[in-house]
Amino acid sequence: MRLINEALAFSLQIEGTRGMVVLESQVPLQRAALDFQSAAFHMVLRHNWSGPFPSFEAWFPHARPADITEYERTFVGGTLHFDAPFTGFTFSAELVLQPVPSADHKLHQLIRRQAEIMLAELPPAATVTQPVCELVTTELAGGNPSLSHIAKRCGVSERTLGRQLEEENTTFRSLLEDLRRRLSLRYVRSSGLPLTEIAFLVGFSSPSAFHRAFRRWTGATPLDYRRRAGAIRLGESPSGRDED
């Protein structure tokens, strides 16, 4: 897929007896663009399908339009779902096991090798973790650093964002926790801001919740940590152990 469009991710997933094709755009798209994307995938597959086209369901993340005539005309025989958790299609998982009548294994191996060479020449794909961290940082102080809100700002579903982060060996919860920890240590150590203000800046609802989290991270209270950090700057030998 990266050879065709780096902004689009395509995945085939099997859950029980159902198969899913999920189309995930890395950039926010308007409804017309999402619909065109789904229609293009469907029409190409339908054009190349051998025999009667199987039953399927088409999923759209936007609200149901007042007139769905064009949807019914494009996705003939399919069940339409709007306000869905993802963009894509579902179908019987048994279809995945069916052989492709026009398959040419030698040609496939040749094309696959060429595709792998072209992929190796592409620059590394951008990660999801960094922009998510940036969005969370902007939302911590009085905003909404929740998974649902950050996923909405990224233009994807909560499930999609969670899976993308898992592919980068992390989770939204661990990112949020680590970001709060690092910001808290930096503010307490270097800013001179009141502790109550720091608690607000890193997204805690109360100073007591901030103090409990800080002690869990460092084994010390914010005030003790600040004093030890000040002693280090003055060249003294503070007791205890700091985490950074």
Q: Which domains does the chain have, with CATH numbers?
A: 8-121 (no CATH), 129-233 (1.10.10.60)
Condensed to tens digits (0 to 9), the pLDDT of residues 172-205 reads: 998 899 888 888 988 888 778 899 999 999 989 8
Our CA angle for 195, 198, 203, nearest 5°, is 135
- E strand or H helix at 184: helix 172-186
As a whole number of angstroms, the distance between CA 144 and CA 141 comes to 8
pLDDT at 230: 67
Any bridge partners for residue 138, and if so which? none
pLDDT at 86: 76
**Structure tokens belonging to residue 79:** 């069940």
Q: Can you list the residues of the chain whose pLDDT is less than 50?
A: 232-244
Phi/psi for 113 (5° steps) reads -60, -40
- The answer to whether 225 and 218 are in contact (CB under 8 A) is yes
- The answer to whether 145 and 136 are in contact (CB under 8 A) is yes
Residue 11 half-sphere exposure toward CB, CA atoms < 13 A: 13
pLDDT at 209: 92
- E strand or H helix at 59: strand 57-59
pLDDT at 240: 41
As a whole number of angstroms, the distance between CA 205 and CA 200 comes to 7
Condensed to tens digits (0 to 9), the pLDDT of residues 134-183 reads: 889 888 877 889 999 999 888 889 999 999 888 888 899 988 998 888 88
Any bridge partners for residue 232, and if so which? none
As a whole number of angstroms, the distance between CA 172 and CA 147 comes to 7
